[in-house]
Amino acid sequence: MADFWRRLREALLSPQIDSDELDEALRQARARQPLPVLWLLGKAQAGKTSIIRALTGSEAAEIGNGFQPCTRTAQFYDFPAEAPLVRFLDTRGLGEVAYDPNEDIHYCESQAHLVLGVMKAADVRQDAVFEVLRAVRRRHPRWPVLIAQTGLHELYSPAQDHVLPYPYDREPLPPQVARDLARALFEQRKRLGTLPGSAPVKWVPVDLTQPEDGWEPVNYGLEAFWSAAEGASTLRLRGMLWGDAGVRDIYARAAHPHVVGHAVAAAGVGALPLVDLVGVPAVQAKLLHAVANLYGQTWDGRAVSEFLGLLGAGVGAGYVARLLGREVVKLIPGWGQTVGAVWGATASGATTYALGKAAGHYFAVRGQGGPVDSKALRRVYAEALTTGSSLLGSPPEDRLP
């Protein structure tokens, strides 16, 4: 038993796997289940970065430093960076002279899950955006389109604040909405007209600002945006990125997408024969280090020993049983690529999710200076194991038709 605990501590602190080998396993896993992609179409300064910031909770500077080029006129941003859940594609050339969208459209045809147009409400010159949206829908008439109309406060009347409750999901707009703003919102929709194809086109006015800008709430219209996005796609991104709407703790909210991202990565690695014997613990170790860092603490030998001791032998034995049991199933001829792979993916992902949530609870209590109750920690783990199985057991539909 002592040797068992020693091996488990080592696996979750510093797993014995070459980084190149782990990267290759993650690459194979990602090839089996590519990232969901949101394709943002909009002119410079339209508010695309503000939308990414509001959806992910990342700082604008972090987003700006995280973009990577993928075509001559487009770039992508993966979130979270170390175990991504979603990829944002930003077309940079819109509105520039001689911009040809065909290369970007071709790239996005195998990538996009949701097309997101972004345009400032005060900018009526959106012909470049409109033309690309028309070209996309002529080629893919069943792709849903969501259009965010941003910067609403630029057209407010003097001394006007955001209209509450949010009024832009009604027609006609109530008289509290500034006349110039109402006219601009309507004019943009009129100029675009009806897009080719039968898929829906949803318009959502939003005003996504920073606290220092002085507008409250800072993410005005974000709830309406989430509702429209969920109505237009099957990605379940809100649950992936934000988790339970009742979670108000800033640390738990920040940790959630990292937990889910690593759980998804572990699920992908867990479907690969034999790799997860070392690959899954390596992903889990990366997650536990990341969660500790988010809570301003250290995942070291002392923390590992205390955490595993509080979880108890039952949890540890169950962890090893799932790890070894799915490997046996995956090696049975005829089952390895079906039942074993599904078992390995779900078990790996759910266990990783549960460890991450339990670690968040552990670090939160420890950060407050109080003792960590073992029964409460095991309850968090058990509940998260069930939630993780549900969250990762039935993936959303594949790409856009």
Kindly state the helix (H) or strand (E) to which residue 68 belongs, with its residue range.
Answer: strand 68-69
**Would residue 43 count as lying in a domain?**
yes
Other C-beta atoms closer than 10 Å to the C-beta of 131 total 13
Residue type, 42: G
Same domain? For 178 and 135 the reply is: yes
Same domain? For 211 and 278 the reply is: no
Same domain? For 118 and 141 the reply is: yes
pLDDT at 314: 67
**Would residue 136 count as lying in a domain?**
yes
Same domain? For 265 and 175 the reply is: no
Q: Which of 174, 205, 234 is the last residue of a domain?
A: 234
Same domain? For 179 and 78 the reply is: yes
Same domain? For 88 and 122 the reply is: yes
CA 293 to chain CA centroid, nearest Å: 19
Domain containing residue 203: 37-234
**Would residue 398 count as lying in a domain?**
no
CATH label of the domain that carries residue 138: 3.40.50.300
Integer angstrom CA distances of residue 352 from 5, 262, 276:
18, 7, 12
Same domain? For 326 and 341 the reply is: yes
Same domain? For 54 and 140 the reply is: yes
Q: 72-111: buried (b, 16+ CB within 10 Å) or exposed (e) per residue?
A: ebbebbbbbeebbbbbbbbbbbbbeeeeebeebbebbeeb
Average pLDDT, 10 consecutive residues per value, the chain (401 residues): 65 72 71 81 92 90 86 89 90 75 80 89 92 90 93 94 95 93 96 91 95 94 93 82 69 89 83 62 88 93 90 68 47 37 63 92 91 93 88 50 45
Same domain? For 329 and 221 the reply is: no
**Would residue 154 count as lying in a domain?**
yes
Q: Could you give the angle at which helices 339-367 and 276-294 cross, rounded to 10 degrees?
A: 20
**Would residue 400 count as lying in a domain?**
no
**Would residue 226 count as lying in a domain?**
yes
pLDDT at 115: 92
**Would residue 212 count as lying in a domain?**
yes
Kindly state the helix (H) or strand (E) to which residue 253 belongs, with its residue range.
Answer: helix 250-270
Q: Which of 200, 234, 268 is the last residue of a domain?
A: 234
Same domain? For 162 and 266 the reply is: no
Cα(281)–Cα(287) distance, integer angstroms: 10
pLDDT at 326: 46
Cα(297)–Cα(253) distance, integer angstroms: 17
**Would residue 27 count as lying in a domain?**
yes
| Cβ atoms of residues 41 and 133 within 8 Å | yes
Same domain? For 65 and 214 the reply is: yes
Helices and strands in the chain, H and E counts: 15, 9
- How many domains does the chain divide into? 2
pLDDT at 251: 82
| Alpha helices by DSSP H, 67-177 | 102-109, 127-139
Long-range contact set of residues 223-230: C-beta below 8 Å, sequence gap at least 24 = 223/166, 224/166, 224/168, 224/169, 225/51, 225/54, 225/146, 225/148, 228/146, 228/202, 228/204, 229/114, 229/146
Q: Which of 234, 267, 299 is the last residue of a domain?
A: 234
Same domain? For 272 and 303 the reply is: yes
